[in-house]
Each structure stands twice: as structure tokens, then as C-alpha cells.
């Protein structure tokens, strides 16, 4: 996959229409985590340094296609302005004559942030007329919103039909690190896949089986795999309708010579709550009155050994009920192992990224993906419309 990137365009006196992902958490009108805004700054600064006027667009929350002050970009504009170190003007709308007039007045070095693109139902419908209206603001289109690249929306895919289109640095980096995992990873390649449900991760498992040497399965979904192997899993989560899928996957892995690491011991609780007593189970089988909540120390050792012997590692999804401190150890130990490893390491998915950030390990990971659903679909080998629109 070879993308057109912003390095290939002269932005002198051009208006650059830039799609970013500024869908950030707010509390009392203040941005509480500015990671996504910071991630877009290198691209925006590059465009400004190259002589462009920049029109930035993003969605925020779920206003369901209606103008709703609760989902205004105003607090985000303030934070963006502070981080960028220059004044960012917020447009009063997304399209229309008032915005057109604002855009016409822009000079090189100016930054205009449009209101929430999802104030219009046409955005998610990828309406051609709406996309054309957005495209009329720019001479070139830059997409740096990897987190929404799996959506064929007007601002992520539609606009690309009307303007010369380029990938920003963030999208370029995502593709650079994740692309080889699907095509030609450096071996040994270890994939660590966690999370609560087989149903949400089976696509990734099926995709990664083609290139992995070892696949680690953790989190709630591991118990469905243990159940089909004939182990007792107590009151742990099991997806009955996915037992055949799990069984078929294990058979495929065996056939391909891919090692599958499943939990061999557990940390359990009698109830699914943060204050339930931690019961260590030193074996694969879980007593009938207990729920598996995290991987045990023997399992952790097996995973750490695999990670430290790897040349490439991808991690998506927690190893246990990470949100309960008593059952976060497995996930956090995996995070630390990745940080110690000399392998090319790629981390995606909200909880895995949260673990990396909680321990300040992001700078020791080769690439921390900014897209939850997008990174999942990328690893499943699906075509991401927002990325496809930027291909050469």
C-alpha cells in the first residue's frame, strides 16, 4: 500500500482542507486528554510552515446529524489553539455562506476550525453534495484522522473525490507500522489479542494466523477457547454460539504450526466487582463458583518469554478486567514486557493503549495506534475507505 503523502505537495499559498480526529474527552468544558490533538500537530505545523492556510474539520461525540451546542467544537478550539501556539478561529458552522466568507479571507499561516461535521446527517451518509461543499473550501485535501479511516463519510472519503488528496504524517505512520504485520512481518512475530468477546476479535485472529508464529489469547474471550478444549471455566464468560468458531480456529492454528498461548492459571473472583476477593487458581481449570478475571503468574511468564524472543509484536486488547485494579496485573505486565522488548512493537485498542499510557511506556513502544476500531479493521485486513482514497 503506497500512499500520496503531504511531502509530495507544494502548499505555498494553497488552502489545505484537513480532516483530523479531535473526538476527545471533555469534563466541565475542558479537554481532559489532548493526545489526539497533539498527534495532529506535526501535520498541521508542516502545512503552515509550507505556506498554507489550513481549514481543519473533525467530528466530536454523537450529535446525530443535528446542531447541538453540547457537541460544539468550541472547547476543543481553545485547547487546539494553546497546543498549536497560535490563534485558531472557530467557524460558526460547517458549510454555508458565512463559512465561505471566512475561508475566502484566509491568508497563509491562518487556521480555521469548522464546527462539528456531524451536525449534518449528510456527513455520515457520505452525501456527495455535502462532500462537494466541504471540498470547495480547499485547493488540496489532507486526511490525518486514522481513527475514522474505517468510515466512508463525507469528510473522510467523499471529499477525496473532488480534490488532490494526501495522507498526513499520522496516517502515514499508522500504515508504515501496521501494513507489514499483515504482509511481511519480521519473524518471530507474536500477536497478543485480548478483550472480552470472541465475536469482536475473531476477524483479527483469523487475519493474523497467516503471518504469526505465536498468538496469545487473553481476556474474557480466552474462556470460550478453554471451554472447547474441555476445561472447566466456572462462571467465566463464554460465548456458546462461538464455540465452533473457536474450535475451528485452534484446528487451523495447529495445521499452520502457529503456537497458541491460552491461560494456564488465573486470578478469579466470586463476583464480577472491583472489591471481590482475589482467588489465585494454580491450574487451567476454574472451580464452578469462580469467575476468571485475569491471567495468572505462569501465563504471564509464558507471554513475557514469547515477547522477549520476538522481532515483531502486535497487541490489541487487555488480558483481564483491567478496569479493576486487583485484576490489572496481567495487562500491565504485558505492557512492561513490550517496553523492554527490542522487537518492533505496535499497540492498538483503547485498553491496551490505556495500559501503555498509565505506566508512561509510550516512548518505549515503536508505535501506539490512535485508532481503536480503525486499527482493529486494519488488522483484520479490511479495506479502510479513508486510506484507500489516499492510495497512489
Which of 197, 243, 336, 364 is labelled catalytic?
A: 197
CA 307, 346, 172: angle at the middle one, nearest 5? 155
Please confirm, yes or no, whether 373 is among the known catalytic residues: yes
Torsion of CA 284, 285, 287, 290, to 10 degrees: 50
Please confirm, yes or no, whether 197 is among the known catalytic residues: yes
Which of 61, 65, 203, 373 is labelled catalytic?
A: 373
Which of 15, 19, 36, 102 is labelled catalytic?
A: 36
Q: Give the 3-state secondary structure of residue 260.
A: strand
Q: How many Å separate Cα 255 from the centre of its chain? A: 31
Please confirm, yes or no, whether 381 is among the known catalytic residues: no
Under DSSP, the state recorded for 91 is P
Residue 361 dihedral angles phi and psi, to the nearest 5°: -105, 0
Q: Give the 3-state secondary structure of residue 23.
A: coil
Residue 319, all three cell numbers: 488480558
Please confirm, yes or no, whether 350 is among the known catalytic residues: yes
Q: Do 141 and 47 touch, CB atoms closer than 8 A?
A: no
Which of 350, 364, 372, 388 is labelled catalytic?
A: 350
Q: Do 265 and 280 touch, CB atoms closer than 8 A?
A: yes
Residue 116, all three cell numbers: 462539528
CB-side neighbour CA atoms (13 Å) of 125 = 10
Instruction: Compute the distance between CA of residue 257 and CA of residue 212 in angstroms, rounded to an integer.
Output: 10
Q: Give the 3-state secondary structure of residue 257.
A: coil
Q: Find all residues with CB under 8 Å of 174, minimum gap 6, and list them.
A: 146, 367, 369, 370, 371, 375, 378
List residues with catalytic annotation: 36, 197, 350, 373
Amino acid at each position: 500500500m503506497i500512499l500520496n503523502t503531504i511531502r509530495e505537495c507544494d502548499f505555498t499559498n494553497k488552502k489545505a482542507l484537513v480532516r483530523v480526529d479531535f473526538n476527545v474527552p471533555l469534563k466541565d468544558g475542558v479537554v481532559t486528554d489532548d493526545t489526539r490533538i497533539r498527534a495532529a500537530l506535526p501535520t498541521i505545523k508542516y502545512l503552515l510552515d509550507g505556506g498554507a492556510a489550513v481549514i481543519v474539520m473533525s467530528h466530536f461525540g454523537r450529535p446525530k446529524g443535528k446542531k447541538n451546542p453540547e457537541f460544539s467544537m468550541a472547547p476543543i478550539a481553545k485547547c487546539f489553539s494553546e497546543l498549536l501556539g497560535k490563534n485558531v478561529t472557530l467557524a460558526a458552522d460547517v458549510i454555508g455562506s458565512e463559512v465561505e466568507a471566512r475561508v475566502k479571507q484566509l491568508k497563509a499561516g491562518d487556521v480555521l476550525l469548522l464546527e462539528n461535521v456531524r451536525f449534518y446527517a449528510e456527513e455520515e451518509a457520505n452525501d456527495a453534495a455535502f462532500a462537494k461543499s466541504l471540498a470547495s473550501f480547499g485547493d488540496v485535501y489532507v486526511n490525518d484522522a486514522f481513527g475514522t479511516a474505517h468510515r466512508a463519510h463525507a469528510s473522510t472519503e467523499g471529499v477525496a473525490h473532488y480534490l488532490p488528496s494526501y495522507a498526513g504524517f499520522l496516517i502515514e505512520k499508522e500504515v508504515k507500522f501496521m501494513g507489514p504485520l499483515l504482509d511481511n512481518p519480521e519473524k518471530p512475530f507474536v500477536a497478543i489479542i485480548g478483550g472480552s468477546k470472541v465475536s469482536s476479535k475473531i476477524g483479527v485472529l483469523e487475519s493474523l494466523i497467516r503471518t504469526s508464529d505465536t498468538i496469545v489469547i487473553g481476556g474474557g474471550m480466552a474462556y470460550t477457547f478453554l471451554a472447547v478444549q474441555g476445561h472447566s471455566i466456572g462462571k467465566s464468560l463464554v460465548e456458546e454460539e462461538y464455540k465452533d468458531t473457536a474450535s475451528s480456529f485452534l484446528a487451523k492454528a495447529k495445521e499452520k504450526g502457529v503456537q497458541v498461548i491460552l491461560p494456564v492459571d488465573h486470578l478469579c473472583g466470586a463476583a464480577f466487582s472491583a472489591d471481590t476477593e482475589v482467588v489465585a487458581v494454580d491450574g487451567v481449570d476454574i472451580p464452578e463458583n469462580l469467575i476468571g478475571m485475569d491471567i495468572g503468574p505462569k501465563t504471564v511468564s509464558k507471554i513475557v518469554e514469547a515477547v522477549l524472543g520476538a522481532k515483531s509484536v502486535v497487541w490489541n486488547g487487555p488480558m483481564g478486567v483491567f478496569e479493576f485494579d486487583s485484576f490489572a496485573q496481567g495487562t500491565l505486565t504485558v505492557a512492561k514486557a513490550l517496553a523492554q522488548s527490542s522487537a518492533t512493537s505496535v499497540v492498538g485498542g483503547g485498553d491496551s493503549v490505556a495500559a501503555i499510557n498509565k505506566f508512561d511506556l509510550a516512548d518505549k513502544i515503536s508505535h501506539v495506534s490512535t485508532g481503536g476500531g480503525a486499527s482493529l479493521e486494519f488488522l483484520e485486513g479490511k479495506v479502510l475507505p479513508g486510506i484507500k482514497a489516499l492510495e497512489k
